[in-house]
Homo-oligomer: A and B are copies of this chain.
Amino acid sequence: MSLLVVGSVALDTVYTPKGEIVEGLGGSATYFSVSASHFTPVHIVGIVGTDFPKEHINRLTVKGVDIEGLCTKDGKTFRWSGRYDESFADPQTLDTQLNVFADFSPQLPHRYREIPFLFLGNIHPALQLQVLEQMDKPKFIALDTMNFWIERERKLLLEVFKKIDMAVINELEVRMLTGLRSIPAGMKKIQQLGPKIVVVKRGAYGSITLIENELFLLAAYPTENVIDPTGAGDSFAGGMMGYIAHHRKITPKVLRNAVVYGTIIGSFCVEGFSIHRLEELNAETIEKRLVKFREMMNF
């Protein structure tokens, strides 16, 4: 079934020890939608400026991503620039120009309202609520957020949490949300805020997921040739949600497999700049890595 993502579309300038890209296609909704497109039809809601290269639009549509909800506004596209050091950990932000994204007010095309699967990317919780208000009871809602909103918009964010099925966050966010140091304990507390499924991203260490009362542990795929980690988390979420949306029944087994596919897609993402590696993926490449990954965990 089809999947809607609301989030940023950006032009990223990124420097890593392996090279650089200037104004490459980026943004959370971009990484998410291209990743999810390998599993299910994706619709995007976002905003770009009049300077956004037509070529980039084509790169989305060629993947089957429906861009009717990607609105173009007078002005410049959101730009981000960052630099990764040898550790490939948290990048140093060199520049952020919100541009048209500063006034983003998501308006859903009428035909989007009945899309059953929804991913609320990391945007202001008020905008996440605004999207929810425009939807006709989605079957499954997931969310990403960040430390900034947890600190400054906790009350609104908790309103969103009440309405979602799955939260996709990192360890720092678990601790900030709950005040608990223990990740498993924090995940249980987050469940009480609303989402029955809590996925905690651990970067190069994989993920830990709480599905009803069961924890699911998964290492990351050990990519040897990291080129650019930008978008890994969004690709993970995209692969995961794409896989879930592809299934009629959302069972714990489907959810576990979704985390596995998300991990595989995320591992491809970091092997290139922008969405380069994600664009060239196909079902065979994905399945081949899955077989290898499974073998690496077998005992």
Contact = CB atoms under 8 A, between A and B. Distances in A.
Contact of A87 (B181, B217, B259): B181
Contacts of A217: 206, 219, 222, 296-297
A216 B219 CA distance: 10
A217 B204 CA distance: 12
A218 interface: yes
Interface string A173-188: 0000000011111000
Contacts of A87: 181
**How many residues of A sit at the interface, in one of the four size bands?**
20 to 34
A14 to B, nearest CB: 17
Interface in A154-186: 181-185
Contacts of A208: 219, 222
25 contacts: A17-B181, A86-B181, A87-B181, A88-B181, A182-B226, A184-B222, A184-B224, A202-B205, A205-B206, A206-B217, A206-B219, A214-B295, A214-B296, A215-B222, A215-B296, A216-B296, A216-B297, A216-B299, A217-B297, A218-B219, A218-B297, A218-B299, A257-B299, A259-B299, A260-B299
